[in-house]
Amino acid sequence: MPTSRVSRTPEIMADAAHAIVTRDPHTCTGIFYIDDDVLAEEGVTDLSRYGGSLESLQLDLFLDG
pLDDT (tens digit per residue) in 9-61: 889 889 999 999 999 999 988 898 988 899 999 999 888 888 766 666 666 66
What's the rounded Cα separation, in Å, for the pair 13 and 37? 11
What pLDDT score was predicted for residue 43?
96
pLDDT score of 49: 85
Residue 52: predicted pLDDT = 62
What is the value of pTM for the model shown?
A: 0.72
Contact at 8 Å (CB) between 51 and 9? yes
Which of these, 44, 57, 48, lies nearest to 15 by C-alpha position? 44
> What gap in Å lies between CA 44 and CA 27, rounded to an integer?
20
> What is d(CA 17, CA 26) in angstroms, rounded to the nearest whole number?
16
